[in-house]
Structure 1
């Protein structure tokens, strides 16, 4: 019985680690997608007739060429999104020889689609027949007439290649075939395995795609409540880091919507929005409905609500502590408003009042609902002020961008008064309320150990003491694996009890999450990559 319990715990820890790692791998293509979206948004808007008619100087050939080039560059991520995910997943999950893993991801993706093409051709399927196209979902994939499996197919390829890379990276071959052994064997076995799997796709994809479409239609039948549940669900999943998977489903699969855009059938809310930007004309109903799941819904909380919560926390702090927390709150607001990164603010109250975080999730959902009801049409991924300017203001009044400041102002007031009331009513230990500054400058105890050590070492990003952070984690011996996403360190450790959360917070961490006895996340903020790299240099390889 004891062995069974230990086995279940290990399995659970391994599953957590895998899902955490999978969600993290999405960030590389999504970051590129966000940048390309801005390029596409600026280029398409400033080269459109609606804008150039009002600003005639933009019709000059030089301006037109530059903005058209920007729009075309922005299509890079949109056009090749599946293969980017197929490469990014093995790249992110591999712990060694990441380049080989990414290369094998491309090989596997290409092999799978070539195998699909072989099957369809061998069966005599007319690749130009409309009924066949609709039944199988036939589309051009990397120049090959195949079945468009979208993000799901790319994720499957990435996971399979990751497993093959882990298993065969050090594969030994007989002397006669030694040239094909080791790392060279990974793309070879990836091509073989994915080619076989590609033969199965035409057999199962039509039914599977039908199920996905049914889920998407089910959400669509909920009307504006679909975006409400999506927005709330994203926030509730954020503490455990699985929100990336939910978001990716809506952005890139039929769950987020599908329909004809400029003559092409497109699936996924973000895909549909970018496709609309690339062609002239007003959006159809399918595009408008899909955009309800994008950044316009976040703006109420990101541009208004969370800054209001930050001001409430500042006003509720002890007066002598306000100078100490001002920089923390200001940096959190800047990350939220400009970068669309909310965790530095959310994790200030998540652990002291989880119920307040649940209320916050409902308010975010209501922000999605409100934007949908009022017909706001602003897409992209981040919900920050840049999205508002590029995909709202620059696209003209038809986006109803002018409603966003009004909605944000309402959310600012709601969050401010709600948080101020809750903090004082329940004496919540938000920043500046959990401790008082030292009363006596001549305290005999002297400075804290970490403060005493920090000046003697080079600090990461001018703030974080990587040596002390590693010590608070339990030392190098306590770390099994170390990685990071946008704002947090993600670790598998020998013993989570050795991780000193209180000390990590004193060292600048926003929060510490212990998912189980071995899986830990430390919320650092936008400088997490630098912190992770510094800690990695102190961990013995192998």
Structure 2
């Protein structure tokens, strides 16, 4: 056995797998942390839209109706300070919700911006020498890293007050001064490179949005789609100093919205039609309907698609590839038809109605035409593939999945209830804690879990020994899928994943404290 191990080690580059796992894990953590600042966009978009005159003119059918300036200013305040929000949100998210890290991100961003502006070359086109959201992402990352490194630092007694967490904003501020000087000198050519990338994407015409739409869906299982979204939404293009296709749209840019419009027919019609196909092809239609009808309505109304997508990503990857391709073609055709409409939250009916009359929205009525056409395409393609390949979509039962007919989402929405005996006692354990404890056990115990983070619909973990994971138990607890990439593991637990992760973190922390106390 030792001989085999030695030869295996000799043919494998040392730590190469571990390095790739760490890189992927870092990218996934960044993608997850980006969701916190992005979550403020819906309220910003709503306030901004309800403050504009054209909306009230359309609602009241009165061309003389005026807007509500204070609402527009409230929404504009968020869009105008997105870099700072990103700095605080990313630092907060990557540091596990620590307030000291968030404060450090804010301090670092303010100092960095002031120093950067002192050194960046001015003159013609100076508004382009602006890092925008990238400056917030940079300082959020720096603050989170410095927090993890120094939040337990001990200083000499006469400086003891400034030790621990208090030291993090100080060191972040000093780092921000250095980075502000460096980026002030080097940013101009970097900005030129970013602009060239943006020009290259835009010069592809409708193909640019098409490629983006395909990659956006394809990266969902890895959780990396948030990273590509951040560039398209917040950096692509320029409109009077405002960057990003989404930000430019809300700033009134008549050329913006091409990279979002194609998502509307997919989310409002395509995925609901796919859900209908899965229900019609189910061996247990009532089970499938109970799982998918509410998810289809959520997709249509709000643009929340992950409950549907994770119903087939793992059990039927061929459907997921088809879905990604269809999304890419939708964005391509929408751009070809010059459909321009964007969203503050997601491409559902609410955003569609709110932004339909926006002055820089064009050909939005074609969304409905494309939606009906693609709804039919989704329905028949999904139906044919499920039937021909006998795919294990919800309600298909043991013949396809090897599990019970209703395994995929109901438990992931509510978690297992406590036993009747426990429920009768006042000391019954909270169901989320019960589920979290059971998941920890299925993952090989607390000692096997190096870290856990929650996203919208999945747990992201670093696992010491992935072979110890009991996947069948995880699926019996409601996991829609388990994906392993070395030590990086994702467990899809539905919309309650973030709460489960919080419970797991607390339980692991408490068990770790007990072990320390025993020592």
- Going from structure 1 to structure 2, the CA distance change for 1:486 and 1:370 (only over 3 Å counts) comes to same
Shift of 1:358: 1.3
Q: Distance in 1 between matches of 2:430 and 2:336?
A: 45
Given the alignment of the two structures, is residue 481 of structure 1 paired with residue 451 of structure 2, yes or no? yes
Residue correspondence of structure 1 range 47-126 to structure 2 within 5 A: 50-51=57-58, 54-55=61-62, 64=67, 67-95=68-96, 98-119=98-119
**Is the Cα–Cα contact under 8 Å of residues 37 and 86 in structure 2 kept in the other structure?**
yes
Q: Distance in 2 between matches of 1:232 and 1:350?
A: 15
Q: Distance in 2 between matches of 1:176 and 1:209?
A: 45
Q: Distance in 2 between matches of 1:484 and 1:372?
A: 34
Shift of 1:464: 8.6
Q: Distance in 2 between matches of 1:173 and 1:220?
A: 52
Q: Distance in 2 between matches of 1:454 and 1:382?
A: 39
Given the alignment of the two structures, is residue 258 of structure 1 paired with residue 243 of structure 2, yes or no? no
Given the alignment of the two structures, is residue 130 of structure 1 paired with residue 129 of structure 2, yes or no? no
Shift of 1:386: 1.1
Say which SS state the counterpart of residue 398 (structure 2) adopts.
coil
**Is the Cα–Cα contact under 8 Å of residues 432 and 503 in structure 2 kept in the other structure?**
no
Q: Distance in 2 between matches of 1:86 and 1:452?
A: 39
Which among 146, 149, 152 is matched to residue 170 of structure 1? 152
State the partner residue of 1:32.
40
Shift of 1:452: 9.0
State the partner residue of 1:383.
347
Shift of 1:485: 1.4
Say which SS state the counterpart of residue 451 (structure 2) adopts.
strand
Given the alignment of the two structures, is residue 519 of structure 1 paired with residue 488 of structure 2, yes or no? yes
Q: Distance in 2 between matches of 1:459 and 1:73?
A: 43
Given the alignment of the two structures, is residue 533 of structure 1 paired with residue 502 of structure 2, yes or no? yes
Which among 321, 331, 334 is matched to residue 368 of structure 1? 331
Residue correspondence of structure 1 range 463-482 to structure 2 within 5 A: 465-482=435-452
Q: Distance in 1 between matches of 2:360 and 2:197?
A: 33
Shift of 1:160: 1.6
**Is the Cα–Cα contact under 8 Å of residues 459 and 493 in structure 2 kept in the other structure?**
yes
State the partner residue of 1:7.
15
- Going from structure 1 to structure 2, the CA distance change for 1:170 and 1:152 (only over 3 Å counts) comes to same
- Going from structure 1 to structure 2, the CA distance change for 1:462 and 1:453 (only over 3 Å counts) comes to closer
Say which SS state the counterpart of residue 394 (structure 2) adopts.
coil
What RMSD, in angstroms, separates the aligned Cα atoms of the two structures? 2.8
- Going from structure 1 to structure 2, the CA distance change for 1:331 and 1:5 (only over 3 Å counts) comes to farther
Q: Distance in 2 between matches of 1:310 and 1:403?
A: 23
- Deviations 1:500-526, CA, capped at 9 Å, x for gaps: 33332332222222222x211122222
Q: Distance in 1 between matches of 2:434 and 2:251?
A: 42
State the partner residue of 1:306.
271
State the partner residue of 1:292.
258
Which among 257, 263, 272 is matched to residue 248 of structure 2? 272
Shift of 1:46: 5.5
Give unmatched runs, 5+ long, in structure 1. 139-147, 277-282, 438-449
- Could you tell which deviates more after superposition, 189-198 or 173-182? 173-182
State the partner residue of 1:416.
379
Q: What's the TM-score once normalised by structure 2's chain length? A: 0.86
Shift of 1:398: 5.5
**Is the Cα–Cα contact under 8 Å of residues 313 and 431 in structure 1 kept in the other structure?**
yes
Given the alignment of the two structures, is residue 191 of structure 1 paired with residue 157 of structure 2, yes or no? no
Shift of 1:421: 0.7
Shift of 1:220: 1.2
Shift of 1:453: 5.7
Shift of 1:242: 0.5
**Is the Cα–Cα contact under 8 Å of residues 340 and 360 in structure 2 kept in the other structure?**
no
**Is the Cα–Cα contact under 8 Å of residues 51 and 72 in structure 2 kept in the other structure?**
yes
State the partner residue of 1:428.
391
Q: Distance in 1 between matches of 2:431 and 2:373?
A: 36
Shift of 1:466: 3.6
Q: Distance in 1 between matches of 2:154 and 2:361?
A: 62
Say which SS state the counterpart of residue 292 (structure 1) adopts.
coil
Q: What's the TM-score once normalised by structure 1's chain length? A: 0.82
Q: Distance in 1 between matches of 2:433 and 2:506?
A: 18
**Is the Cα–Cα contact under 8 Å of residues 378 and 387 in structure 1 kept in the other structure?**
no
**Is the Cα–Cα contact under 8 Å of residues 227 and 368 in structure 1 kept in the other structure?**
yes
Say which SS state the counterpart of residue 172 (structure 1) adopts.
coil
- Going from structure 1 to structure 2, the CA distance change for 1:218 and 1:6 (only over 3 Å counts) comes to same
Shift of 1:41: 1.9
- Going from structure 1 to structure 2, the CA distance change for 1:189 and 1:348 (only over 3 Å counts) comes to same
State the partner residue of 1:315.
280
- Going from structure 1 to structure 2, the CA distance change for 1:473 and 1:115 (only over 3 Å counts) comes to same
Q: Distance in 2 between matches of 1:309 and 1:45?
A: 38
Q: Distance in 2 between matches of 1:376 and 1:356?
A: 27
Q: Distance in 1 between matches of 2:372 and 2:220?
A: 25
Shift of 1:58: 5.0
Counting matched residue pairs gives 484
